């Protein structure tokens, strides 16, 4: 392997850590926000429903890139301090995908058969027990496939951190481009492979979770499929 080749590969791989941090951090924030906002949209209180609607439609309606620019360049002018790029990235990724995830949570909770709710009422479970012991465990299994798509979506969005110089894969590649102009195939090839690998890992984890949770509910675990054969969500 020539010097430039190994240099290119090691430089791009040096951004892999940031991409993974951003992905994992974004996913964690997404899960929390999606659950809160998703359940809030089903609340009996009009105000709670309204607030979560505003959050969901606000973040789904404005562009993710614009949100990133706003948080990173406007917020400092408003509040007087600048967020660390990676941190700002995680917040935007989480807020944006949390809004999409909220709809997944809402839909999954609503898809749990009525009889399950009625059964829990008949057993005189408290509303909290009803939600956490009966409804959610079943709804979570429904959520996993759409969340898989959403997480891959989020992983792809980490490339946008290029705009705020967070030092992830895409930025590393773009720093290399002026220097190694003749080796663009290698640069972009390595980048694509990194993202593909993360996508496959995410799908594998989600599939495993799906099997475990389905079994715990006493359901037939889903059939094994190729790790990256999935229905796509918009980029």
Partner 1 sequence: MNWNWDYFWESVPLLLEGLLVTLELTVLGSAVAYVLGLVFALVRRARIPVLSQLMYLFIEVVRSTPLLIQVFIVFYLLWPALGITPSAFVTGVIALGIHYATYTSEVYRAGIEAVPKGQWEAARALSLPRGRVWTGIILPQAVPRVVPALGNYMISMFKETPLLISIGVLDVLNRAKGQGAETFQVIEPYTLAGILFLLISYPSSILVRRLERRVGQL
Q: Would you tell me which residues interact with partner 1 (CB under 8 A)? A: 57-58, 60-67, 69-70, 73-74, 77-78, 152, 156-160, 162-163, 170, 173-174, 177, 184-185, 188, 191-192, 195-196, 199-200, 228-229, 231-235
- Maximum separation of any 2 CA atoms in the chain, in Å: 72
Q: What is the closest distance, in whole angstroms, from the C-beta atom of residue 162 to partner 1 in the complex? A: 6
Torsion of CA 104, 105, 110, 115, to 10 degrees: 130
Instruction: Classify residue 164 by its DSSP letter.
Output: G
Q: For residues 112 and 159, which CB has a smaller minimum distance to partner 1 in the complex?
A: 159
Distance CA 185, CA 207 (A): 32
Distance CA 52, CA 105 (A): 13
Q: What is the closest distance, in whole angstroms, from the C-beta atom of residue 173 to partner 1 in the complex? A: 7
Q: What is the closest distance, in whole angstroms, from the C-beta atom of residue 108 to partner 1 in the complex? A: 18
Q: For residues 99 and 135, which CB has a smaller minimum distance to partner 1 in the complex?
A: 99
Q: For residues 32 and 205, which CB has a smaller minimum distance to partner 1 in the complex?
A: 205
DSSP string of 110-146, one letter each residue: HHS-HHHHHHHHHTT--HHHIIIIIIHHHHHHHHHHH
Packing angle, helices 46-61 and 16-40, rounded to 10: 150
Q: What is the closest distance, in whole angstroms, from the C-beta atom of residue 131 to partner 1 in the complex? A: 27
Q: What is the closest distance, in whole angstroms, from the C-beta atom of residue 160 to partner 1 in the complex? A: 6
Q: For residues 122 and 231, which CB has a smaller minimum distance to partner 1 in the complex?
A: 231
């Amino acid at each position: 392997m020539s010097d430039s080749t190994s240099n290119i590969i090691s430089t791009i791989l040096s951004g892999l850590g940031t991409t993974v941090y951003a992905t994992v951090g974004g996913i964690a924030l997404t899960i929390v926000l999606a659950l809160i906002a998703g359940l809030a949209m089903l609340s009996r209180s009009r105000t709670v429903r309204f607030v979560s609607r505003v959050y969901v439609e606000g973040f789904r309606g404005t562009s993710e890139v614009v949100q990133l620019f706003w948080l990173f360049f406007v917020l400092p002018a408003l509040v007087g301090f600048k967020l660390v790029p990676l941190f700002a990235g995680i917040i935007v990724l989480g807020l944006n995908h949390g809004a999409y995830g909220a709809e997944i949570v809402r839909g999954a909770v609503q898809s749990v058969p009525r009889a399950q709710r009625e059964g829990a009422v008949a057993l005189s479970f408290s509303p909290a027990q009803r939600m956490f012991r009966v409804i959610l465990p079943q709804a979570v299994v429904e959520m996993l496939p759409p969340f898989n798509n959403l997480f891959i979506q989020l992983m792809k969005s980490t490339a946008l951190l290029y705009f705020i110089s967070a030092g992830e894969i895409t930025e590393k590649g773009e720093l290399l481009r002026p220097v190694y102009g003749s080796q663009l195939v290698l640069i972009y090839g390595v980048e694509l492979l990194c993202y593909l690998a993360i996508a496959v890992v995410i799908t594998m984890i989600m599939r495993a979770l799906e099997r475990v949770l389905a079994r715990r509910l006493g359901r037939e675990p889903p059939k094994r499929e190729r790790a990256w054969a999935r229905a796509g969500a918009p980029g």
